Structure 1
């Protein structure tokens, strides 16, 4: 187990992560976990700096029954309420799924979809535009459907991947995997 951060070095909360800097190095961990992970220097990035992010887009996963694939959804949260935000997901049987966004902000931990959480985008500018883009793209992406069970080719995972690809095409191009 890492002994970081030293007791006199405060950490900052950024979304579902805690971050601290010490001796020119940056460390992070998912809130509620013990081990700190040192950030590795990234290759030259064209993304704007995210020192003061306002909006986080997460891929969240929920473990399902034995032998079943994880349920995937997108979660959009504001920096001031990192545990509360909007879920964008499709639900139902893989033969007939429906888009079911949360109408109100939900607590990500109460939503029971936090087996795994991955940060996809950190938005420091135009957060209202980014939130609208996520809502628009997710709402327009057709949920998986099939004529019968034998014809099923997609589930919530593929739908989520299609939404992410369209978000990149729509300008949300600074996707990051920070977990």
Structure 2
């Protein structure tokens, strides 16, 4: 790993939502977690990752869309967990008002949580998932989700069973696998493009036993 603290290579440094971010002269970005009360370090540097595939509209396209009408987005959001733990994935939908000047808004989250042997559904509304303090990356699956499609996504996510295993050694799936299973169902329904699945499977983190 490069010397992240080398001041001669740091071109930008910032702190936001309990995380420190730096951008280096080689174009890479890094982050580490801070204690919000004491500002002490609680994790090592990790790279800020890009979405698994370039499927998001460009910023200019997003601005043009926002200038025309409000849009409901469906995205996958990845968040950092403890060091050496796989990232947490969730499905997130939010509505950007017409002519919005920001890319984020509060919305609905579908996810599974808990130990990999006995995970459970954990859904929430009115969550600003894209501003999570542990945010790693997000990938837009749709930027024009209809109200009918939103209801269908909700039905599919709630019907997809959480990962289970009889013991730790038997674990074959975590939250990322559950998200991929939901996305596969959305592909079958024509809500999400088929090529999304391969890109997601290529960046899944390994099972930690």
TM range (shorter): 0.5 to 0.7
The residue number in structure 1 matching 2:109 is: 87
The residue number in structure 2 matching 1:19 is: 59
CA contact (8 A) 1:71 1:157 kept: yes
TM-score by length of 1: 0.65
Please give the secondary structure, in 1, of the residue aligned with 2:93.
strand
The structure showing larger relative contact order (alpha-carbon pairs under 8 Å, at least 6 residues apart) is 1
The residue number in structure 1 matching 2:93 is: 76
Q: C-alpha distance in 2, partners of 1:123/1:17?
A: 12
Please give the secondary structure, in 1, of the residue aligned with 2:165.
coil
The residue number in structure 1 matching 2:169 is: 150
Q: Which has the higher strand share?
A: 1
- Going from structure 1 to structure 2, the CA distance change for 1:86 and 1:113 (only over 3 Å counts) comes to farther
The residue number in structure 2 matching 1:108 is: 129
Kindly state the Cα deviation for residue 111 of structure 1 after the two structures are TM-superposed: 4.3
The residue number in structure 1 matching 2:147 is: 128
The residue number in structure 2 matching 1:140 is: 159
Kindly state the Cα deviation for residue 18 of structure 1 after the two structures are TM-superposed: 7.7
Q: CA-atom RMSD, angstroms? A: 2.9
TM-score by length of 2: 0.56
Q: Which has the higher helix share?
A: 2
CA offset digits 1:6-58 (Å, max 9, x no partner): xxxxxxxxxx98823xxxxx6x79xxxxxxxxxxxxxxxxxxxxx75621111
Kindly state the Cα deviation for residue 130 of structure 1 after the two structures are TM-superposed: 1.3
Aligned residue-pair number: 133
Q: What are structure 1's unaligned runs of at least 5 residues?
A: 2-15, 21-25, 30-50
Q: C-alpha distance in 1, partners of 2:184/2:165?
A: 22
The residue number in structure 1 matching 2:83 is: 66
Q: What are structure 2's unaligned runs of at least 5 residues?
A: 1-10, 12-55, 197-209
